[in-house]
Amino acid sequence: MDKVNLAEKFAKFSRHWDPKIIGALNGQHVKLVKFKGAFVWHHHDNEDELFLVVRGSFTMHLRDRSLNLNAGELVIVPRGIEHCPEAQHEVEVLLFEPASTVNTGSVPGALAVQAPEWI
């Protein structure tokens, strides 16, 4: 057990849409991700997913509206809800979700990360 400095962990990687694990508790993972541009529309059948903006901003598109999130803001996307994150500039985000969560959820493809790396 040791403390984790988010800025130090974010400095360890640069690839977008490639979540890294920084902690595990109660069957959940704490992950960090950087992204820019638009992801793919997807949902998670069995996992609720939390996004907390650490640096920058992004838009969480939902089918009926879009939420603009800035640093210090979070959104919880419940299981089953289609969503598509998009960032105009690179954003740093902390994720909290079940260890079973695959980033692209219902949508396989090149962006899917089945087993994120621990950093």
Residues that bind its own copies (CB under 8 A): 1-7, 23-28, 30, 47-50, 54, 60, 62, 67-69, 72-78, 81, 96-98
Torsion of CA 95, 35, 7, 57, to 10 degrees: -80
Q: Tell me the C-alpha distance between 13 and 119, whole Å.
A: 9
- Within 13 Å and on the Cβ side, how many CA atoms surround 30? 13
Q: How far is the CB of 56 from its own copies (least distance, A)?
A: 14
- Within 13 Å and on the Cβ side, how many CA atoms surround 47? 22
Between 30 and 110, whose beta carbon lies closer to its own copies? 30
Closest CA to 43 of 75, 87, 98, 84: 84
Between 35 and 96, whose beta carbon lies closer to its own copies? 96
Between 1 and 110, whose beta carbon lies closer to its own copies? 1
Between 60 and 107, whose beta carbon lies closer to its own copies? 60
Q: How far is the CB of 68 from its own copies (least distance, A)?
A: 8
Q: How far is the CB of 104 from its own copies (least distance, A)?
A: 18
Closest CA to 44 of 93, 3, 7, 98: 98
Q: How far is the CB of 106 from its own copies (least distance, A)?
A: 17
